[in-house]
Structure 1
Amino acid sequence: MARKHMLFGDKNEEYKIWKKHSPFLYDLVLTHALEWPSLTVPWRPDVSRPEGKDYALHWLLLGTHTSDEQNHLVVARVQIPNNYQFDSLKSGSEKGELGGFGSVTGKVEMEIKINHEGEVNRARYMPQNRRIVATKTPSADVLVFDCTKHPSKPDPSGECNPELRLRGHQKEGYGLSWNSNLSGHLLSASDDHTVCLWDVNAGPKEDKIVDAKAIFPGHSAVVEDVAWHLLHESLFGSVADDQKLMIWDTRSNATSKLSHSVDAHTAEVNCLSFNPYSEFILATGSADKMVALWDLRNLKLKLHSFESHKDEIFQVYWSPHNETILASSGTDRRLNVWDLSKIGEEQSAEDADGPPELLFIHGGHTAKISDFSWNPNEPWVICSVSEDNIMQIWQMAENIYSDEEPDITAAELEAQGM
């Protein structure tokens, strides 16, 4: 089975096919059933490698989306084996324990649960201080927590006690971005058509409340996402249901501070991501099923459109380890990994089951993917969560991204029914 080929049809049948072929497509797959769906799943930037152990400890940030029960911001600890040598697929139990390949033992433990007001629309770590987390709520407020100031088990009363409450929006939203160059500067996107900026280091005026340092009007519809440029402390981008990509400069003397506005897609624009290795390159994802590639030096011209998704795209993120690699996901239950360096390459008939730049399709989810993130400490490892409570931690087989053919015999293929 070609690594990019994934039929769209009955999702349970698709899953059976995916599961059968997984040993040939992945070096790692760990599956965990969460108690509640999570709309957010960023990795924490640190890793611990205990001496004498055959695993490393990683941390994830999760947020519950319950059915009218108490919601929590959750810090989960994940045990990932150092060497993945898998030969056969093993299913996780119904109790939410990890399932993986062969003799893999992985553990997910909910280390800290913090009471939260309503579901967690999005949660993000401050890059300069992993203890500090910002969250988007069903209200207009953005909350900031210091995870070290909360007990591992939440107060039974359900009371939510954030360290800061950020005011400025009139409605809820999803977009949230910490500035990696200016500590404490946080952007938020909202259904109220605006982007807000806070400096959480400025401290609250009273009652833990911090008012927005600046509010950026410009979009004429719901602002879906916002992101700081990773190499310039004053530049950020926003995308919205008005189909526009806007680039802003906080240094500008003009009131609006809007530098560029582009008609980016033919439908709502849901997400954007700046390339961590390039001053100029960014990507956007849209309800038009396309991922678009842009160059800040000439936004009138779209560099490239990535086509393969069958439905709305809600997430797009560049790899932190490879300049030409990005991934996208959304409503079609697929997470696509793309390689810019392969755009325009000639393909054999066998490989032509998608554009040459489509490196891999992760087809392990049977519901809409809510979020995913690249592990900053383990190249090619991704964690993805879907609306049916399933969290998967996975890494595609090395032969796929290194362009080598696997050593699989015809007999092995026949045994798998391929």
Structure 2
Amino acid sequence: SCTVNDVRLCATWSELGRVHIWNLENLWGTVNRDAQMGYVPTENDENEQLIYTFKGHTSEGFAVDWSIPSPGTLATGDCEKHIYVWKPQPGGTWIVEDKPFLAHTGSVEDIQWSPNEPHVFASCSVDKSIKIWDDRAKQNKACMITVSHAHTSDVNVIHWNRNDPFIVSGGDDGIVKIWDLRQLQVGYVKLS
């Protein structure tokens, strides 16, 4: 989730390949108020508000992340190897480019925005790679760095350290690796 103009937002994937953005303010207030009274909201409560739906993905996906340095900016990645970057606009809407960012050869499993650079994000995939992107470049040239065989099998999760230039990755091979972005092609530290 993220906060834009003091409004809490959440993005969710659907099995139809749609990504929804929800305004959580009413639900958040209800949970805070009702939790103090011992009430737990049910599925029938209509406190959430759908504010935007993107239908550009051609399949379902798993990867979604909000940018910290650029509030309201979102990246989503699907099982058909497409990544879309969403830019917030006034009035509670988003602009999403028609053309996806493409460089992976398999499902995009996770996306993480840089905690410091508003235009840089990382992605990982079942193609065993980790990629670093700059969204200021054209989609077909935006992949700046690729670690081709980051793991011996699917790379499922990545996390960008908020204080140091490190990315942590985890794969189906059961290994956790720490990557130093200053020397990304040199290698990693293996945790097992």
Q: Same fold (TM over 0.5)?
A: yes
Distance 1:216 1:254, change over 3 A: closer
What CA deviation, in whole Å up to 9, does each residue of 1:140-181 have, x standing for no partner? 1111111124595568498x8511112321111111111111
Q: How does 1:162-201 map to 2 (within 5 A)?
A: 162-201=50-89
Moved more, 147-156 or 219-228: 147-156
1:142 to 12, 16, 19: 19
Name the structure 1 match of 2:182. Answer: 297
Highest Rg: 1 or 2? 1
Q: How does 1:18-417 map to 2 (within 5 A)?
A: 125-128=1-4, 129=6, 131-149=8-26, 152=30, 153=41, 156=44, 162-203=50-91, 210=94, 212-213=96-97, 215-253=100-138, 255-262=140-147, 263-278=149-164, 280-307=165-192
Greater relative contact order (Cα 8 A, min sep 6): structure 1 or 2? 1
Q: Which AA in structure 2 matches 1:171?
A: S
8 Å Cα contact 1:172/1:190 also seen in 2: yes
Q: Which AA in structure 1 matches 2:153?
A: A
What RMSD over aligned residues (CA atoms) do the two structures have, in Å? Answer: 2.5
Distance 1:236 1:132, change over 3 A: same
SS at match of 1:285: strand
- The number of residue pairs the alignment matches comes to 177
CA distance in 2, matches of 1:247, 1:260: 5
- 5+ residue gaps, structure 2, are 31-40
CA distance in 2, matches of 1:127, 1:194: 26
Q: Which AA in structure 2 matches 1:172?
A: E
8 Å Cα contact 1:127/1:178 also seen in 2: no
Q: Percent identity?
A: 23
- 5+ residue gaps, structure 1, are 1-124, 308-418
CA distance in 1, matches of 2:83, 2:20: 16
Distance 1:187 1:203, change over 3 A: farther
Distance 1:219 1:253, change over 3 A: closer
